[in-house]
Chains A and B, each alone.
Chain A
Amino acid sequence: MKFPSWTGNPTRRGELVIGPLMILPAALGLCIFQFWPLGVAILNSFRAFNPFNHRPNGWVGFGNYQAVLADPSFQSSFWVSLIYMVLMIVIIIPSALGLAILLDKRMPGTALARGAILGALASSEAVAALIWNAIYQPNSGLLDVIFQTFGLPSQPFLTDGHLAVVCIVIMTAWKDIGLPMLIFLGALQAIPPHLFEAASMDGANRWNKFWRITLPLLRPSLVLGLFMTTIAAARLFTPIQILTAGGPNGQTSNIAYFSYAQAFLFNSPGPAAASVVMMLLMLVAITIIQARALRSRSGI
């Protein structure tokens, strides 16, 4: 019996060298900027640190985790993180789908609308947060001016905890809606038109076509959009930092902001690392649940 040699197909021999070489830069980048910091964070989460020079000075086992879990501000951040996720998913996914459907219709002004949405996506997160900070300003901000025009009272957009969470989500949705919208638009345009023609012949009305044809065929893109939005919501940081700095009274602080505050404001790298690892575990758990819930039998 002849076993295939390691070179296999002679015409593909060169790929054995060129292939790994081509993925080397990306693999190196991933190792340096993703896996290495992750590994360090996991190690740090089990260490104690010297508060003055921030150097590790011993192992504390699950001590950092116990401390973080017992911290009421972490508990609050955990729930706020979940609220951000739910609100962002509820606002961004249907809005992005609605916008994608409108843009797919190629109505007048479509190019302009697409440009505006992608413009927001391309803008810096910090700049967008500063713009919205101006919009949310009490009395002089755009929203309050509009409210006053209609005789409505001034609103504490960023000074009321609950309202501030919503304001941060709206700002983030405004900025980030472009990417899921683009994904949905691409998926919509990839649905063969003859399926809708067949559905017309089968007696389907617009709603039937959307519910029975469009939505199931968008499933992979919806799942992708859902994952992206979930991860973006979990990592939400810049808007919180610029609009509220976690306030008022920590009511807008999520786990990401909590970790930042522990590491850089309270000089506690151990609890910061422990909270980052817990956020990671939370994200993994949520995405597994989402993937299972949205699993499809048809392979679509």
Chain B
Amino acid sequence: MASVQMRKVIKNFAGAEVLKGVDFDIVDGEFLSLVGPSGCGKSTLLRMIAGLEDITGGEIHIAGQVVNGLAAKDRDIAMVFQNYALYPHMTVRENLSFALEMRGEFKAHIEKQVAHAAGILGLEQLLDRYPRQLSGGQQQRVAMGRAIVRNPQVFLFDEPLSNLDAKLRVQMRTEIKDLHERLKTTTIYVTHDQIEAMTMADRIVVMRLGVVEQIGTPLELYDHPANSFVGTFIGSPSMNLLRGRLVGGDKGLVFEHGGGQSMPLGAALSGVVPGTGVDLGIRPEHLTLGDTGFAAKVVVVEPTGAETQVVADIDGQRVTAIVKDRVSIVRGDLIHLAPDTARVHCFDAGTGHRLP
């Protein structure tokens, strides 16, 4: 186990800056997730930590040591690749043993370590099979076994579940989390799926265009997004953003929607200066179907069993609401959606920064 620090890490590819001074710490034993849309630099950053990409600028520290000049094999870290990267010509046993053989470990020790890793992951029956004889989930477990067997200081996961079907993904998510709870090895987990990050990570780093947008625990990011990007990226379905402006009223601020409707916010957002152009952020579960609130026209009704997602149009702007009860509305119906004003978010319409 080890701590990892990023110090103004920069990466250029052919003159294009893909990481622009990334700076954060990962504490010993932490499960940290890097999330962001495609091209945000999260996988590049992970590969730089692994030693598979050169570092253009800044420093990466692992266990207090600067590793910029260290080869991948000398960093004592293990990585689980998106497509598993199992050696197809080797059995599961040989795949698990390979790193230990490269280290020159004794055969008896290798066998013991392999048996230990196979025991943790339930691979005992599969040791003599080849990767092509395994299902996707089993291959994923072997890939994790190959990381565990080395007992490294840090685990790196590069979108390890993206090749699995939805059901298996949920199962493997639990297995990885459980594994981390048992081993307590520092883990850096890259994903573009914010649900994975939310459910697994101790802390999340949200990245966009090579810049860290926000770092925090899953619920910190969910409840207090630093900007409209983080607000809409974290949470599914996404946070609704209504463009308008805040004006002063008798009982506090009033949100005037661009479409003409207005909504008194009461004491909420009291620190925001009236007259400001804003994006009002409302989570889908904080919109209530009733007789008050924004008048909207139903576009799509999506029942999922446990809840119903209603997509509606407020003066030309689409919003999504999650309704716990079953509803009997259909496309074209006129409804009212009332936001929970105590839980709305306000972002500067120009910069996207959180207000106040």
- Which residue numbers of A lie inside 8 Å of B, CB to CB? 192, 194-195, 197-205, 208, 212-213, 216-217, 219, 296, 298-300
Contacts and interface: CB of A to CB of B under 8 A. Distances in A.
B89 A201 contact: no
B89 A202 contact: no
A217 B85 contact: no
A195 B85 contact: yes
Given A192-B85, A194-B81, A217-B89, A201 B130 contact: no
A92 to B, nearest CB: 24
B75 to A, nearest CB: 8
28 contacts: A194-B81, A194-B83, A195-B85, A195-B87, A197-B50, A197-B79, A197-B81, A197-B85, A198-B87, A199-B87, A200-B72, A200-B73, A201-B50, A201-B51, A201-B72, A201-B73, A201-B77, A201-B78, A201-B99, A202-B150, A203-B73, A203-B99, A203-B103, A204-B102, A213-B87, A216-B89, A296-B89, A298-B130
A205 B104 CA distance: 12
A203 B71 CA distance: 9
A216 B95 CA distance: 14
A216 B107 CA distance: 22
B98 A212 contact: yes
Given A192-B83, A197-B85, A200-B72, 11 more contacts: A197-B72, A199-B98, A200-B71, A201-B52, A201-B99, A202-B99, A202-B102, A204-B102, A217-B89, A298-B130, A300-B89
Contact of A298 (B50, B85, B90, B103): B90
Contact of A200 (B52, B90, B103, B132): B52
Contacts of A198: 79, 81, 85, 87, 146
Interface residues of B, number: 25
Contacts of A216: 89
B89 A208 contact: no
Nearest to B147: A201
Contacts of A195: 85, 87
Q: 7 closest pairs, A vs B, by CB?
A: A202-B99, A203-B102, A198-B85, A203-B73, A216-B89, A194-B85, A298-B89
A299 B90 CA distance: 10
B237 interface: no
B73 A204 contact: yes
A243 B176 CA distance: 68
Contacts of B103: 203
Contacts of A213: 87
Interface in B32-82: 50-52, 71-73, 77-79, 81
B88 interface: yes
Contacts of A194: 81, 83, 85
Contacts of A197: 50, 52, 72, 79, 81, 85
Nearest to B47: A197
A200 B53 CA distance: 12
Interface string B124-136: 0000001010000
Nearest to B98: A202
Interface in B148-172: 150
Contacts of B87: 195, 198-199, 212-213
A200 B130 CA distance: 21
B297 to A, nearest CB: 45
Contacts of B51: 200-201
B341 to A, nearest CB: 50
Contact of A217 (B71, B73, B88): B88
Nearest to A191: B88
B31 to A, nearest CB: 20
A216 to B, nearest CB: 4
Nearest to B85: A198
Contacts of B77: 201
B81 A202 contact: no
Interface in B320-348: none
A211 to B, nearest CB: 11
Contacts of B81: 194, 197-198
Contacts of B146: 198, 202
A198 B52 CA distance: 10
Contacts of A204: 73, 98, 102
Contacts of B73: 200-205
A200 to B, nearest CB: 4
Contacts of A217: 88-89
